[in-house]
Amino acid sequence: MGENTFYVTTPIYYVNDKPHIGHAYTTILADVLARYNRLLGRPTFFLTGADEHGQKVQQAAKKHNITPQEHCNKTVKRFLELWERLGITYDDFIRTTEERHKKVVSAILSDLMERGQIYADSYKGWYCVPDERFFTEKDLVDGCCPECHRPVEELEERSYFFRMSEYQDRLIEHIESHPEFIQPAHRRQETLSFLKKQPLADLCISRPKSRLSWGIELPFDRDYVTYVWFDALVNYISGVGYLADEEKFRTWWPATYHLIGKDILTTHTVYWPTMLMAMGVELPKTVFAHGWWLVGDTKMGKSLGNVVNPMDMIERHGVDAFRYFLMAGMSLGQDANFSEKIFVERYNADLANDLGNLTSRVISMLKRNYDGIVPPASDLGDDERALVDSCLGAASAMADCVANMQLDSGLATVLAAVREGNRYFDRMRPWTLAKEGRQEELGRVLRNTMECLRIASGLLYPVMPNKMMTLRRALGMPEESLEPEISALNAWNRLVEGSRVGDLKALFPRVETAKEDAPSCAAKPPQAEKKDSGKKAKAAEPVGIITIDDVGKVVLKTAEIVSAERIPEAVKLLKLSVRLGEEKRQIVAGIAEHYAPEELVGRTIVVVANLKPAVLRGVESEGMLLAAKAGKTLRLVTLDGPLPSGASVG
């Protein structure tokens, strides 16, 4: 694969149920990365698909009195329809029931069998039907499956095994020498811990047809079908021509990113790389495991009745707003909370108030005062400096954030530039300029505000393609320039003088704030009102009130985390080395349960810089960082745009 190509995959989704927010999140993430890399001019391939074999499919088909293939053909449409609604620009959608995939799986199995990498043996263990996996006695949790927590059954049967254990040391060496292979860093440590704490067992890769007939038949034993995970993982190479189109395969492999949920980490960072090693195929560059969308502190699940249907959110709030929320609302690698109230609050703040409001104001003023004609460019002065720096800084930051898988930070920087556009617009008071007939100054303000929107719309295009196309048309941009060029987003004054702006209804109409579900425990009923005595009650003095003088005693500054490490025998504490301008300090912070040391390095945080030093667990702490906490979730207080360390906060 050339250094300039980009190949991204999602897991292939099991077609036994409706797609949910987890499926949508991973697929939108892949789509955003693919769209952004296409804007960079990188040859890009985006693969997704459907996992259609296995026991649950067979059981569901039997329940509905249809064949497994008919069941797959019916249920896969739900995913295809959702991807169309979400604007997913995949290059290929692979199904494991397709001949092109089954031929590759069979060829791999035959080759591994001939080379002694697969062998037959008797196996006894605890089998989970829903997960279609065997577990040892020590793996079980209270006698149940450690993954889905449902009952297991003891089975003994003749099986075929892949010699996965032979690759344990080689895999450990690869992970340690290629830190980018598993991301984020705490998932890399999780896999290494798993590999180092016990010998790796061989992998059972067969299921007897007497129990499961719906699968790819083993080419060397017709009484068995292939274990669904061994089958499904092969899609990442069968989808780009492995053993069928070598030129295509050389073009795209190894994958740039396998995007996965953290619940399938082991299959992708242990099973899959050892399979590739046995085949003699290069390993993917990065397996990136993102977090879960939670409701409160609980993972979404059908059994809990808290699964979010993407179609419902699209119908209520639109495709682009949904895409934006998922990308802006989760830090990649961490879990995030979902509720419609949180969704609506972010929608109103970022899209309706900031982006939509600025767009509406500038275009309506341009139509009233310039007949909808884009004014000429003018020299930039001190009034424009903060705006230009913010917008061009956002373009640079977004490129870095995409490269480092920090999309939420990149989007925050873009929205900060939009807010700077609003501040510039308010500060320059164009309505006053119009009233006083100062047309040249008015044109300068409108033109520069439109340039802010041009850059922001280009940076947001991979996330909200439809709405940003609408915005760019409204700015008077010609059709051939609607799809942004990255180079144009790093430059000012690219709008064409004399072009006419388009009509635009509210880009993101404000919506009513959604109400949270009623709490389980009702609050105390209010006491009956006392009759008005005619006397004005004295207001109670609030508790804990401080004065501006008290605030002035606290010195807050930005600090860059240079290094982080755990403190032995201190479960909750991390020792941080931070830079405040030219000064370096050491801070002890109780955040070890929320952040791995590796994911903190390079972050810019806010610290109390004039706190008296203290010794915690024998380690001196020269300050305190700021963080917010709600329930069990803790988040560091960071910035919405780049600033050097040592900058004053307040």
Structural contact between residues 43 and 87, judged by C-beta atoms closer than 8 angstroms: no
| CATH 1.10.730.10 domain span(s) along the chain | 339-489
The helix (run of H) or strand (run of E) holding residue 468 is: helix 465-474
Within 8 A by CB and 6+ apart from 288, the residues are 183, 184, 257, 258, 259, 260, 332, 333, 405
**What does the pLDDT read at residue 399?**
92
Which three-class secondary structure state does DSSP give residue 441? helix
**What does the pLDDT read at residue 156?**
84
Structural contact between residues 592 and 572, judged by C-beta atoms closer than 8 angstroms: yes
The helix (run of H) or strand (run of E) holding residue 275 is: helix 272-279
Say how many C-beta atoms besides its own lie within 10 A of residue 470's C-beta.
19
Name the CATH superfamily housing domain 551-649.
Nucleic acid-binding proteins (2.40.50.140)
Assigned CATH topology for domain 339-489: Isoleucyl-tRNA Synthetase; Domain 1 (1.10.730)
Say how many C-beta atoms besides its own lie within 10 A of residue 642's C-beta.
16
Which has more pLDDT, 579 or 280? Answer: 280
pLDDT band at 525 (very low <50, low <70, confident <90, very high): very low
> Residue 460: phi, psi to the nearest 5?
-90, -10
pLDDT beyond 90 at 613: no
Please state, in angstroms and rounded to a whole number, the distance separating the CA atoms of residues 254 and 277: 13
Please state, in angstroms and rounded to a whole number, the distance separating the CA atoms of residues 63 and 492: 62
Structural contact between residues 463 and 326, judged by C-beta atoms closer than 8 angstroms: no
Tokens 């290494």 locate to 192
475 to each of 253, 468, 496, 620, how far by Cα in Å?
Answer: 40, 10, 10, 56
**What does the pLDDT read at residue 520?**
29
Q: Which of 177-186, 518-527, 613-622 reaches the highest mean pLDDT?
A: 177-186
Mean pLDDT confidence for 159-177: 98
Name the DSSP letter for residue 520. Answer: S
pLDDT band at 579 (very low <50, low <70, confident <90, very high): confident
Say how many C-beta atoms besides its own lie within 10 A of residue 513's C-beta.
12
Q: pLDDT tens for residues 188-224?
A: 999 999 999 999 999 999 999 998 999 999 999 999 9
Which three-class secondary structure state does DSSP give residue 198? coil
| CATH 2.40.50.140 domain span(s) along the chain | 551-649
**What does the pLDDT read at residue 146?**
87
Q: Which of 129, 123, 58 is nearest to 97 (CA)?
A: 58
- With both helix axes pointing from N to C terminus, report the angle between 272-279 and 168-177 in degrees, rounded to the nearest 10: 110
> Residue 222: phi, psi to the nearest 5?
-75, -5
pLDDT beyond 60 at 306: no
**What does the pLDDT read at residue 584?**
82
Say how many C-beta atoms besides its own lie within 10 A of residue 45's C-beta.
23
**What does the pLDDT read at residue 602?**
73
Which has more pLDDT, 452 or 123? Answer: 452
Please state, in angstroms and rounded to a whole number, the distance separating the CA atoms of residues 306 and 304: 6
pLDDT beyond 90 at 599: no
pLDDT band at 565 (very low <50, low <70, confident <90, very high): confident
Least confident of 255-264, 308-317, 640-649: 640-649
pLDDT beyond 70 at 552: no
Question: Do the strands 257-261 and 217-218 form a parallel or antiparallel pair, or are they unpaired?
Answer: unpaired
Within 8 A by CB and 6+ apart from 266, the residues are 191, 194
First to last CA, the chain: 49
